[in-house]
A and B are shown apart, each in its own frame.
Chain A
C-alpha cells in the first residue's frame, strides 16, 4: 500500500472522483462568495420560471429564486447530511463490528441478529418511519439516517476483525499482555481501516441520495432552506414546462454521488495490495 503520487496518478477514477468531490466541497464552503443571489430572500415573483439566461445562468424557480444560487447553497445541506450521518454510521458500525468480531459468541450472535433485522427493512422505509415519529427537520434527518444505516460497516468490520484476529501479531499482543480494548483499537483497528474508509466514502453517497429522497417526499429539510431533494420535489409538476428547475439540482446530486463513488473505488484500488504490490 502506498500513497505516493506515482500510485495516485495512475488511478483515473480516483483523480476524477476527488476533483468532483473537491468541487462540491468548495461550493459548500464558499457558497456566500460564489452564489450570485441569496438563495431564499432574493425571491422575485416577476422573474418566476425564467429559463436559463445571462442574468440567471440556471434559470429561476416558481417563486423567482435563482436556481444556481440554490444549487450552490444546497450542497451545504447535502454534504453535511452525507458526512455527518455516515460519521455516525461508521462510529456505531465500527464499534459494533469490533465487539462482534473480537468477542464472538453471544455478543456476535446478538449484534448480527440486529444487523440482519436492519438489513431486512429497506433503509428508506425505516428512515421514513423514524421521520414520521420524530417529525421533519434537519436534525431529525441526521438522527434518522445516522442510526439506521450502520449494518454494512458493522458487517465489514466484523469480517475484517475475524481475519485480523488470527494474525500472529494479534496473538503476540495477547501473549505480551495487551488488554482486550488495546488490542481491538490499537492493534486491529488501524490495520483494517482501509476497507472501512472505502465503504464509508460510498456510504456518504448513499446518505446524500437518502436525504434527497426524504426531502423529495417532504419529510426532510423544510422549505425555504434549499436542499437538492427539496428542489426536485417543488419542480415535480413543472418537469415538462420548466425542466431547468429539476435538471440542475438533479445533476448536482448525480455528479456528487458519482464523484464520491469514483473516489471510493479509486481508494479501494489504491489500498488493495493485490493491485498496488503487483510483482
Chain B
C-alpha cells in the first residue's frame, strides 16, 4: 500500500443541477460516487465502463480539472486533492508529474499554435531545461513519437488524426511526467491507425518508466495495454483485478455481461452475449442498494436495499457484489 505512486480514496464528484430563479442546487448528478484505487510505478491501470459511468470525470478529478466534492488523492503520499489551494510552486510541481491525453485529436490541440510552440510553452512555463536546450528536447520528443523535427513548424490542421494523437502524446511527454492519463486515447482513430498509437504508448512506457491510467470503453484495447483493470458502473468501481483475472474469471454480473457483449472478429466464435435489460440508469437518480440491480440477471432479494462494498476475493481481486 505504501509504495503506490498514486492513491485515490473515496473520491466523489457531484455536479449540482441548478434550477429556478435563484439558481439553487436542487439535485445532484452523482458522476463519481466513492472511487478508491491505487496506481503503482510503471503500471497501467485500465478503467472501463459505459458512457456516464464516471470514468472520464474520475480522470479529470485526479488532475484537478474538475473539482472533487470529497475524497483524497495522494501522489507519492502527498495530498493533491486541492491543487488550487497549494502554493504556486507546489502546484506546478504536481502539474508537471501528471499529464493527460485526450480522445479527440482535433479539439485537443490549439489550432493557432505551431507544433514547436505547443511543445515549447510548457517547458518555458515550468522552467525546465535551459532555453538553449529546449529545441533539442523538442526534437528528441518529436522523434520519440514518430514525427520529424521539420514538422515542428506546422500547425495542427496540417496533420492527420493519428499524427495529431502523436502530438498530444508529445505534449504530455514534454514535461517528463510520471503519470499519464489517457482518456480514450485511440477510440477516435481509424482502425488501421489504432495499433500504431497503442504500440507507441507501450514503447514510451518502457522507455520513460511511465505509469498509465487508460480510460476506455474498448475492452480489447484495454486488455492489451493494462496490467490491472477497474470496471466502473454508475460512478463506482464494481470490480477490480489483474487483467487475466478480470478477463478469465470475472466475478461481477456486470463485468460478465460487458465482456460477453463485445463482438468478436471471428465468424466462428459463436458467442452468446448476456443481453442486459434496459438502459444504464441516470446518475441523477441512481437506484437504491446496488446500482446494477435493476438490470442484473442475478439480482436477488436484498440487492435493492444494501449497497455492496468492494470486498477482497484474494489475489488483488476486489468485487462489489453480495453474491460474487
Contacts and interface: CB of A to CB of B under 8 A. Distances in A.
In the complex they form, do A and B come into direct contact, defined as C-beta atoms under 8 angstroms apart?
Answer: yes
Interface of A: 167-169, 171-179, 182, 187, 190-191
A175 B98 contact: yes
**Of A169, A179, A191, most B-chain CB atoms within 10 Å:** A169
B95 A176 contact: yes
A190 B122 CA distance: 18
B216 to A, nearest CB: 16
Contacts of A168: 102-104, 107-108
A175 B63 contact: yes
Contacts of A174: 63, 65
Nearest to B125: A177
6 contacts: A171-B65, A176-B95, A177-B91, A177-B125, A178-B121, A178-B125
A176 B121 CA distance: 9
Contact of A191 (B92, B96, B103, B110): B110
B77 interface: no
B240 interface: no
Given A169-B107, A176-B175, A178-B125, A190 B99 contact: no
Interface of B: 60, 63, 65, 91-92, 95-96, 98-100, 102-104, 107-112, 121-122, 125-126, 168, 171, 175
A156 B168 CA distance: 30
Given A172-B102, A172-B168, A176-B99, 5 more contacts: A173-B110, A175-B98, A176-B171, A177-B122, A178-B121
A177 B65 CA distance: 11
Given A171-B65, A187-B110, A177 B100 contact: no
Contact of A177 (B60, B95, B171): B95
Contacts of A179: 125
A173 B126 CA distance: 12
Nearest to A182: B125
Which 7 A-B pairs give the minimum distances between C-beta atoms? A177-B95, A168-B108, A168-B102, A176-B122, A190-B112, A169-B110, A168-B107
A173 B110 CA distance: 9
A175 B111 contact: no
A178 B113 CA distance: 15
Nearest to B157: A1
Contact of A169 (B92, B98, B109, B125): B109
Nearest to B103: A168
A173 B125 CA distance: 11
Contacts of A171: 60, 65, 100, 102, 108
Nearest to B91: A177
Given A174-B65, A175-B100, A177-B126, A191 B91 contact: no
B147 to A, nearest CB: 18
B266 to A, nearest CB: 35
A191 B155 CA distance: 13
Contacts of B121: 176, 178
B111 A191 contact: yes
A182 B121 CA distance: 11
Contacts of A175: 63, 65, 95, 98-100
A175 to B, nearest CB: 5
A51 to B, nearest CB: 56
B268 to A, nearest CB: 40
A154 B89 CA distance: 34
A168 B112 CA distance: 14
A172 B125 contact: no
A179 B126 CA distance: 11
A176 B63 CA distance: 10
A177 B92 contact: yes
B175 A167 contact: no
B98 to A, nearest CB: 7
Given A169-B107, A175-B95, A191 B63 contact: no
Nearest to B126: A177
A191 B109 CA distance: 11
A168 B185 CA distance: 13
A190 B112 CA distance: 7
B69 to A, nearest CB: 17
A22 to B, nearest CB: 27
